[in-house]
Structures are given as structure tokens and as C-alpha cells.
Chain A
Amino acid sequence: AQSVTQPDIHITVSEGASLELRCNYSYGATPYLFWYVQSPGQGLQLLLKYFSGDTLVQGIKGFEAEFKRSQSSFNLRKPSVHWSDAAEYFCAVAAPGGYNKLIFGAGTRLAVHP
């Protein structure tokens, strides 16, 4: 069965520090891959997506993610975190075609210390 694992439930970083959020998936082929962010009390906003091609994808707010097929991973990175990045981050996968259903990881809550 398809699944998404985000190993870190909570992460705390200092403002200005670099960030990496981990995401591993289980799927028979290469799925579509997504990172969403959810600020408190809000819906989900798309940060970036990977469908095919270049394995390093750039997103909004200075985020990037790298698809590594051999590791079934799609880790999210940011070189310098801002206090406004404090939020919950969700990794998701979708099977190409079909009904465009998403399978989500459990989420990683990011706290940023000043």
C-alpha cells in the first residue's frame, strides 16, 4: 500500500539556521510529490511539487526539495529559516493519472527560536 512517512513530529531551529524536513514514501513507481505548509488556523498552501525531470525543485518562500529515487525520499530544505516559517509541513504523494488523490504524511511541526 502507498504510504508517506515524516519521521520528525516536531523540529525546533533557531532563526537563520538551515532546515531539512524529511519525507520518505512507499510506492511502486515514481509518484507525483508535494510539500504543503499549514499556518495555524489556516488551510494548506502548496510549497512545491515534483512530477518529473530535474530532481531539485524550487518552491515558494525560499524552499527547495530534492527527489532521490534510490532512497524514495523527497526532503524539504531551506538555507536560512525565518520566524514566519513556523508552521506545520506536510509531504504528500499522488499516483500519476487516476482521480488525483493525495496521500499525506503525518506532518512535521516546525518551531523557530528567535
Chain B
Amino acid sequence: DVKVTQSSRYLVKRTGEKVFLECVQDMDHENMFWYRQDPGLGLRLIYFSYDVKMKEKGDIPEGYSVSREKKERFSLILESASTNQTSMYLCASTRGQPQHFGDGTRLSIL
């Protein structure tokens, strides 16, 4: 079975902090994704990566950046956290379809 592991299930940070969310997959997948999930809005794509050191903006990249130094790891970075970034963040990976998801990180920015 594919395993996508997100480093934290719950995280509480303060406004202005730099926040790192980590995601690791164990299936040598080329493609990895970061989504945020908000009630009534479903999942929205923040960034994705199709190879090491490659990244593409999704639909809502503002206020976020990403890093992919190794194939198995894809990090989401909140450069200066704000309260409107309080949300559930989900990571996914795939070689083709379908995507496989981690359990999510519920992030609260105070």
C-alpha cells in the first residue's frame, strides 16, 4: 500500500511565524501535491511538483512556497503565517492516477 505521511496531525503557530509542513511518500512517485481544505470549498490546490526541484503554482499559491529537494519529500512553507491560513492541509502523491492522500495537518494560526 502507498503510504503518504504528514509530519504533524495538529499544529498551532503564531501570526508572523515561518511554518513548515512536511510530507513524505514511500512509493517513488514523481508527482506530489499540497491542498488546503476549508468547509464549503472542498480541496484547493496550493502547489504541486512533478520532479525533484520542480514546482508549479496551483490555484491559491499566495502566501505559500514549497521545497522538493528529494523525490520522497515535499514541504509546504508559510513564509509569514496569517490567521487566514488556519486550515486543514492535505498532501498527496501519484505516479499517474489516482492520487494517494496523507491524513492531513490541522493548522491553527493564532
Chain A positions near chain B (C-beta within 8 angstroms): 4, 6, 9, 32, 34, 36, 41-46, 49, 51, 90, 92, 94, 99-102, 104-107
Contacts and interface: CB of A to CB of B under 8 A. Distances in A.
B104 A43 contact: yes
Q: Is the interface of A mostly helix, strand, loop or mixed?
A: loop
Contact of B101 (A4, A43, A51): A43
Interface string B19-63: 000000000000101010000111111001010000010100000
B40 A46 contact: no
Contact of B42 (A34, A46, A100, A105): A105
Contacts of B103: 41-43
B94 interface: yes
Chain B residues touching A, range: 20 to 34
Contacts of B104: 41-43
B102 A101 contact: no
Nearest to A6: B42
Q: Is the interface of B mostly helix, strand, loop or mixed?
A: strand
The 9 closest A-B pairs by CB, nearest first: A43-B101, A104-B42, A44-B101, A104-B43, A43-B103, A106-B42, A46-B98, A43-B102, A43-B104
A90 to B, nearest CB: 6
Contacts of B98: 34, 46, 49
Interface in B60-108: 90, 92, 94, 96-104
Contacts of A6: 42
B32 to A, nearest CB: 10
